[in-house]
A = this chain, B = another copy of it.
Amino acid sequence: MPDPESITNPQVQRTHRAMLDAARRLLSDNGPSAVTHLRVAEVSGVARATVYRHWPDRADILLDLLSRSADLHLTPPPPDLPVTDRVTALLRTFAATLNGDGGQILTAMIGLAEWDDDVFSALERMTTRGPQSLRNLLATGIEEGSVRSDTDVDLLSDRLIGPIYLRRLLYHDEVTDAYVDDLVAATLGPSLLG
């Protein structure tokens, strides 16, 4: 059985990567229920026993896969722009990730996290890092005066991210840049009038 944390053996790295790639494809094509030891073995070409050696429990495969993919790429943009523009840029990259593979992975995690605490922990790590950088950005805006000072930062973050999630996860609509622009304008715009 290979060491789960620091894998130095290149043979182990190869098989592990091949199996994870297969699991990723299975998840993307057929959903979480398709990610089993048997099917991962079939798709990856690795022996079934080896899949069990790496992940004794079926949920471990998904958790490993999801933990590695749990990056929504909500990196803060360069600080030489107005806050509202930086917020827009941040949310655009976030929406782009949701439109791509991130949306499916997030969907899978939401469906599993309700009944699996480990998946929920991974989901929590995945969904707190992004909003945090957004909150920092909004806090900067409040200091600058470009965002209303009586606005709750946490709620404001929810109001910017919530509609984007809604559109992707429930409506299965692509989140366009125009949608993000309108959302930011409607949410942060009126503050300039106060």
Interface of A with B (CB < 8 Å)? 30-33, 104, 107-108, 110-116, 120, 123, 127, 151-152, 155-156, 158-159, 161-167, 169-172, 179, 182-183, 186-187, 190-191, 193-194
Instruction: Give the distance in Å from the alpha carbon of A162 to the alpha carbon of B91 in the complex.
Output: 15
A127 touches B171 (CB 8 A): yes
**Looking at chain A's contact residues, is the secondary structure mostly helix, strand, loop, or mixed?**
helix
State the Cβ distance, A148 to closest chain B Cβ, in Å.
8
**Chain B residues whose CB sits within 8 angstroms of the CB of A108 once the complex forms:** 111, 114
State the Cβ distance, A44 to closest chain B Cβ, in Å.
20
Instruction: Give the distance in Å from the alpha carbon of A113 to the alpha carbon of B152 in the complex.
Output: 34
**Chain B residues whose CB sits within 8 angstroms of the CB of A104 once the complex forms:** 114
Most buried by B among A127, A155, A158, A161: A158
Instruction: Give the distance in Å from the alpha carbon of A32 to the alpha carbon of B162 in the complex.
Output: 25
B167 touches A158 (CB 8 A): yes
Q: Which residue of B lies closest to A167 (CB)?
A: B158
* Contact for A172 among B31, B113, B190, CB less than 8 A: B113
Most buried by B among A31, A110, A114, A159: A114
